[in-house]
Structure 1
Amino acid sequence: MTAVLCLTGALTGAAAPPPGAIPACSIDDPRLAELSGLVAEGPPGAAPQRYHAVVDGGGTARAFTLDPAGCAVTGTRQADVPVTDVEDLGLGPGGELWLADTGDNGARRGSVRLVVLPPAGPPRVHDLVHPDGPRDVEALLVGDDGVPLLVDKTTGAAGVYRPAAPLRDGGDPVELRRVAQVVLPWSGTGGGPLGAAGSRTVTGGGLSPAGADGGRAAVLRTYTDAWVFPLPAGGPATADALVTALGGAPLPVPLPGEAQGEAVAPDGRGALHSGSEARGLTAAAVTVVPGAVSAATVPQAPVVPQPAAVPEYRTYPSWLPAAGGAAALGALLVAGAVAMSLHGRRRRSR
C-alpha cells in the first residue's frame, strides 16, 4: 500500500506519506500499564534522550522518566498534589511537565486540574472549569507562551478549550473558553477498542519541540491514527497559533493494531512516538513513525481537509475501553478453563 501511495504522490505532485509505525519497545513495568501521556525530550535534530510518561488515574501527581532504548523507568518527577484522573502530558517552554488531570468518565467533575512539575522547585496547580458543563478531556497541548489548550473526547466534533483569563496557582478555578472544534476526517485504519467511532475520538495530543527538523506541528491522536496539523515556519507555537493550526487540514498517520492508543509525542527529528495502554494480554508499548511530522510540513503535503459537516457518531462512555479489555481478558480466562476441563474429561475417559 505504501508503494501505491508513493506512486500516486509522484504522479500528482503531492509529497509522499510517512512510512509505517515501527515497534520501539514494550513496557513491562506494571506501574505503566495504563500509559496515557507521553513526551519525547531531547535536542533538536537528535533522537530523544528520555521519555516522560503518565498513566491514567488518580492519586498524587507523578510522571515517570523512561530510557527510550528499552522503556525502562529511570526516575520520577512528582509532587504531593492530589489528582483525580490524569489523562495526558505536555512539555512547557521551560522544561516543565504539565499533567492534565482532566479525565471525567461520568461527566460529574465541577472542575479539572493542570499540575505543572518544573525541573526544580515547587509545583504549580491550576484549576479550571468548563463553560458548557463537565467534559471528558484526554488531550493537552502547551503553547510556547505557556498557555494550555484542552481538546475533549467528543466523538465527531472535538471541542478545543483555552483559559479565558491568566492561570492562577491555587485559588478559585479559571473558566475555560471554547475557541474551536476539530472534525477529523474519515479513517479506515483498524485497531483500538471502539471500532470506527474510535477513529474520530481524540485520546491524546502533542507538540513538536522548537527547532525540530523539518518544522513543527500540533498532533492529535485517536485510537487508530495520529493527525498532524502543520504550523507556520519560523514563528512561535503560541496558543493562538495552535488554535489556527487545528482549524486546518491535517496529515493522517495510521497507527494500526494498537491495543488502546492514548499517547503521542513528536520529537526533534520530525518523528512521531505513539504509546498504547496494556489491554488484555497485550503489554503497553511505544512505536515510532519516522518522518511523520516532516511529511506534514513540506510543500504539497498529502493533508486531508476537515469535513464541512460533523459525522454522526455516538460518543461512547469513557469507561467502555477498559470494560472491553476486562471482558476480553475474562473471555480468555473462561475459554482456558473450559479447554482445561475438556482436556481433563478426555484423559479420564481413556
Structure 2
Amino acid sequence: MRTVGAIAAAILLGTVLTGPAAAAETPPVPETLCTVTDPRVDELSGLVSDGEQWYGINDGGERVEVFVLGRDCAVRKVLTEGTDPYDVEDLARAPDGTLWLSDTGDNRADRKTVALLALSPQGKVALHRLTYPDGPHDAEALLLDRSGTPYLITKDVLGDSKVYRPAAPLASPGPTPLEKVGSLKFETTGTPGGPVGSFGSALVTGAASTVDGTVVALRTYTDAYLYAAPDGDVVAALRRPPVRVPLPGEKQGEALAFEPDGTLLSGGEGTGQPIRAVRGAAALATRTAATPPAAPAGATGAPGAETDGAGLPVLPAAGIVLVVALGGWLGVSKLRRRRR
C-alpha cells in the first residue's frame, strides 16, 4: 500500500480533464447483447471487435491467450502462444489484424519494466518491454492511434491518471522508454456498479478507439468517456471535454470496445457477465469535435476543481485515508493471480 505522501507525490502536472459529460443530449442506455457463460472467460478485462466477431482477454494469465467470441458470447476459438506475461490488462487491435496485449498491470508498484505483446494474424508474438520515466505505475488501459502508436493510461486511486507513449520506435524485446504526455482528472459520478463503491467511478480500467481513430474512449468501473479525435491525434483528443456514457450495474467493468459502426461495447470480470452495447456512441463524441481544446500540457488543477497553491487537489484528511485504504485493498485482492 502506498503512503499518503507517496500518493500525493504521484500527482503530476499535465493535460488535465475532469469527467463530466460535454454533450447536452442523454446517451442511450446500454442494452445487453449476450452473456459470457464459458468458465474459461471468467475475468474479461480487454475486448475488441473486427466487425464479425469479438476478441477478449482475461486479466492476468500464464500465457498469451485470446478468446474469439461469437456474437452470442460463445467461445469459437482460442488463440494461444507460449509467452508467459506478468499481468495482462487490456487489448487493442491494429488495422492489419495484429492484437496488442497490454501486460502493464502492477498493483504492487514493483515492476522495473512493463510490456506490450503483439500477436500477429499468423500467431507469432513480438515482445516489447517498456520503462516509465518516473517509476512504476499500474496501468489497465491501452489505446492505439491510427498510426499504431500505443498509449498507456494509468489507474490511480486519486483519479489522476497519467498518459504515456513510447519516446522512440518500439524495440523487441527492448526496453523502450516511455514519455509522459499528459494526465486526466476523473471524479466520482454516482453511477452505480463496480467492486469498490463510488470510488470506482474515478479509476481507469480500460480503453478503446474507433477503427478510423476519430474517437477514443476510456472507461472506469462505472462510466465511459468518449473524446473526439477528428485528426487522429490522441493527445489533442484527450484535451477536449469528453462525453460521459454511464455504464451502470457492471460488477467489475473493465472491457471496452467499438464496433466498426461506432457502437460502444462494454463487459467485465466474472462468470455470467453480459456484453452490452451503446448504439451511436461514437457519433455523440464526433459532435463535440468543434469544441476548442482545453489548456495545453503543463496546466495545473482541473476545471472547476478546488486546488491548493501547488495545483494539487484539496482532499479532506479522512478522504485521503479512505482512498489509500482502497488502493491497498485493490492490490491485495489481486495478489492471488500474481506468481512473481
**TM-score interval (norm. to shorter):** 0.7 to 0.9
Corresponding position of 1:50: 53
> How far does residue 184 in structure 1 lie from its aligned partner after superposition?
2.5
Structure 2 residue 317 is the aligned partner of structure 1 residue 317: no
Corresponding position of 1:97: 99
**Correspondence list, 1:176-215, <5 A:** 176-210=178-212
Task: Extract unaligned runs of 5+ from structure 1.
Answer: 1-13, 43-48, 327-350
Of 56, 60, 64, the match for 2:63 = 60
Q: Distance in 1 between matches of 2:98 and 2:61?
A: 20
Of 237, 242, 245, the match for 2:237 = 245
Task: Extract unaligned runs of 5+ from structure 2.
Answer: 1-22, 295-301, 306-311
> Residue 57 of structure 1 aligns to a residue in which SS?
coil
**Correspondence list, 1:1-350, <5 A:** 16-42=25-51, 49-68=52-71, 70-120=72-122, 122-155=124-157, 156-170=159-173, 172-210=174-212, 216-232=214-230, 235=231, 237=232, 241-278=233-270, 283-298=272-287, 307=303, 309=305, 311=313, 312=315, 314=323, 316-317=326-327, 320=330, 323=333
Q: Is the 1:16–1:301 contact (alpha carbons within 8 Å) kept by the matching residues of 2?
A: no
Sort the Cα spacing of 1:254 and 1:87 in 2 relative to 1 into closer, same or farther, 3 A. same
Q: Is the 1:251–1:302 contact (alpha carbons within 8 Å) kept by the matching residues of 2?
A: no
Q: Distance in 2 between matches of 1:123 and 1:143?
A: 20
The count of aligned residue pairs is 291
1 or 2, which has the higher helix percentage?
Answer: 1
Cα deviations by residue, 1:139-166 (Å, 9 ceiling, x for unpaired): 0001121110000001321000001111
Q: Distance in 2 between matches of 1:300 and 1:16?
A: 15
Q: Distance in 2 between matches of 1:307 and 1:76?
A: 45
Structure having greater relative contact order (Cα 8 Å, sep ≥ 6)? 2
Q: Is the 2:107–2:331 contact (alpha carbons within 8 Å) kept by the matching residues of 1?
A: no
Q: Distance in 2 between matches of 1:322 and 1:253?
A: 30
Q: Distance in 1 between matches of 2:166 and 2:190?
A: 34
Q: Distance in 2 between matches of 1:294 and 1:35?
A: 26
RMSD: 2.6
> How far does residue 307 in structure 1 lie from its aligned partner after superposition?
3.4
Sort the Cα spacing of 1:302 and 1:19 in 2 relative to 1 into closer, same or farther, 3 A. farther
Sort the Cα spacing of 1:117 and 1:228 in 2 relative to 1 into closer, same or farther, 3 A. same
Q: Is the 1:143–1:242 contact (alpha carbons within 8 Å) kept by the matching residues of 2?
A: yes
| Displaced runs of 4 or more, over 4 A | 299-303, 310-313
Q: Is the 2:131–2:176 contact (alpha carbons within 8 Å) kept by the matching residues of 1?
A: yes
Q: Is the 2:192–2:249 contact (alpha carbons within 8 Å) kept by the matching residues of 1?
A: yes
Q: Distance in 1 between matches of 2:36 and 2:73?
A: 6
Q: Is the 2:108–2:331 contact (alpha carbons within 8 Å) kept by the matching residues of 1?
A: no
> Residue 191 of structure 1 aligns to a residue in which SS?
coil
TM-score by length of 2: 0.79
Q: Is the 1:34–1:55 contact (alpha carbons within 8 Å) kept by the matching residues of 2?
A: yes
Pick the structure with greater CA Rg.
1
Q: Distance in 2 between matches of 1:197 and 1:87?
A: 20
> How far does residue 244 in structure 1 lie from its aligned partner after superposition?
1.3
Q: Is the 2:266–2:275 contact (alpha carbons within 8 Å) kept by the matching residues of 1?
A: yes
Q: Is the 1:15–1:295 contact (alpha carbons within 8 Å) kept by the matching residues of 2?
A: no
> How far does residue 185 in structure 1 lie from its aligned partner after superposition?
4.7
Q: Percent identity?
A: 43
Sort the Cα spacing of 1:51 and 1:121 in 2 relative to 1 into closer, same or farther, 3 A. closer
